[in-house]
Amino acid sequence: MTTATPEEARSQIVNLVRDFVRRDVEPVAAKLDREDIVPFDLIDKMKDLGLFGITVPEEYGGLGLDYTTFASIFEELSKGFMSISGAIGTHHILTYMLAHYGTEEQKNRFLPDLASGKKRGGLALTEPSGGTDVANLQTTAVKDGEEYIINGTKSFITNGRYGDAFCLLARTDKNAEPNHKGISAFIVEKGDPGFRVGRDLDKMGYRGLDTCELIFEDFRIPAENLIGGEEGRGFGQVMSGLETGRINIAARAVGVAQAAFNAAIRYSQQRETFGVPISQHQAIQLKLADMATKIQAARLLTYDAAGKKDRGERVDLEAGMAKLFASEMCQEVTLDAMRIHGGYGFIKDSPVERYYRDAPLMIIGEGTNEILRVLIARQLLRRPEYQI
């Protein structure tokens, strides 16, 4: 019996995901978006495909696949309905942090259920008073014997209502200098009245997925839920996890842009003006050429970052560049797709209207593009080849 090569394994799982999207997701995407319905049946099918454990090591019940495959899966899901990828987005940041920084006991306790989808995870990072400025978060975790007492509020939390376990960042040392040295990461699970879900957030796009506030009031968790068992490591741990998050956001942007382009090029060959399809007009041809070129450039940046992650290289710069370029590209391409459709692109019956509303999520999510530009510049200025 022969073992599939990594390329063959990647092709098999990506083809399965592509078939799932075409068969099960695309026919209901408009309804899910319009009515803001969380598709539990589709999430169950994603569990059956193993998508909750894409990169989780096989010994903990996951597929153990590489980040190139990870990016391909997010691209394919987002072509059909970008929100469906959100069910596994921050879930994978949680599994990444456990797999890379958790104790062996934590891995054995949490990863099998997360990999199977029995438990759905998320990232409790953003707060009402600040999002990108993680180092100044206000949620606290105070040690009390063999427990920590958590107090604070998290906002914009994907999977907040229907998720089960979250990676929570909280301040364990108020006097640490610099600030980020006082931040620790914990696994928190629902089930105690001190941890409750607040309001659901009504979003412009990224609909069909629960996004909520999480409120912690004297919520006690066992000390063994401190990821890695050591305080003050949370900031670095989550920044590493966000590298993979930015790869998945970039891949989502490529997927949405590709879907918008596909719709636009098909429509341009069907719609006629002045006796010919509008695809014969040079103004439309120029748009199509620019759209396709931008998508391919973003795709190459995304898979370059994923490939470097697979090789164990540092990718904070590359993942940031991929997310920055791909997300801005997605906004431009979805707008151009709408313009090619004319009035038909402006009504709810057209999927390009949804693509256009979904695109800003990639610009804002996993670090706004404004802060990413600053981080990219700082990384470049640290590189020895640019020193004078």
Task: Please check whether residue 190 lies inside any domain of the structure.
Answer: yes
Ranges under pLDDT 70 in the chain: 1-4, 6, 130-132
- Could you tell me if 92 and 38 lie in one domain? yes
Tell me the CATH number at 323. 1.20.140.10
What pLDDT shows up at residue 176? 87
Q: How far is Cα 388 from Cα 386, in angstroms, rounded to an integer? A: 6
- Could you tell me if 228 and 300 lie in one domain? no
Return all residues near 213 (Cβ < 8 A) that are at least 6 apart.
Answer: 128, 153, 154, 155, 157, 160, 197, 198, 199, 201
Task: Please check whether residue 279 lies inside any domain of the structure.
Answer: yes
Tell me the CATH number at 109. 1.10.540.10
What pLDDT shows up at residue 136? 80
Cβ–Cβ under 8 Å, residues 279 and 292: no
3-class state of residue 121 by DSSP:
strand
- Could you tell me if 44 and 147 lie in one domain? no
Query: Of 233, 260, 279, which one is at a domain's C-terminal end?
Result: 233
Cβ–Cβ under 8 Å, residues 149 and 142: yes
What pLDDT shows up at residue 229? 95
- Could you tell me if 245 and 344 lie in one domain? yes
What pLDDT shows up at residue 177? 87
Q: How far is Cα 331 from Cα 209, in angstroms, rounded to an integer? A: 21
Cβ–Cβ under 8 Å, residues 21 and 76: yes
Query: Of 233, 251, 275, which one is at a domain's C-terminal end?
Result: 233
Say what the pTM is. Answer: 0.94
Q: Give the count of domains, the chain.
A: 3
Tell me the CATH number at 134. 2.40.110.10
Task: Please check whether residue 259 lies inside any domain of the structure.
Answer: yes
Query: Of 64, 86, 116, which one is at a domain's C-terminal end?
Result: 116
- Could you tell me if 159 and 26 lie in one domain? no
Return all residues near 140 (Cβ < 8 A) that are at least 6 apart.
Answer: 150, 151, 152, 170, 171, 172, 174
Task: Please check whether residue 306 lies inside any domain of the structure.
Answer: yes
- Could you tell me if 199 and 288 lie in one domain? no
- Could you tell me if 142 and 263 lie in one domain? no
Active site residues per annotation: 366
Q: 226 is in which domain, residue-wise?
A: 121-233
What pLDDT shows up at residue 1? 47
Task: Please check whether residue 159 lies inside any domain of the structure.
Answer: yes
Task: Please check whether residue 1 lies inside any domain of the structure.
Answer: no
In angstroms, what CA-CA distances link 233 with 84, 87, 103, 182, 356? Answer: 31, 26, 13, 8, 38
Tell me: cis bond preceding 128? Omega within 30 of 0 counts. no
- Could you tell me if 245 and 372 lie in one domain? yes
- Could you tell me if 247 and 356 lie in one domain? yes
- For residue 95, the tally of other CB atoms under 10 A from its CB is 29
- Could you tell me if 375 and 252 lie in one domain? yes
- Could you tell me if 50 and 102 lie in one domain? yes
- Could you tell me if 170 and 264 lie in one domain? no
Task: Please check whether residue 61 lies inside any domain of the structure.
Answer: yes
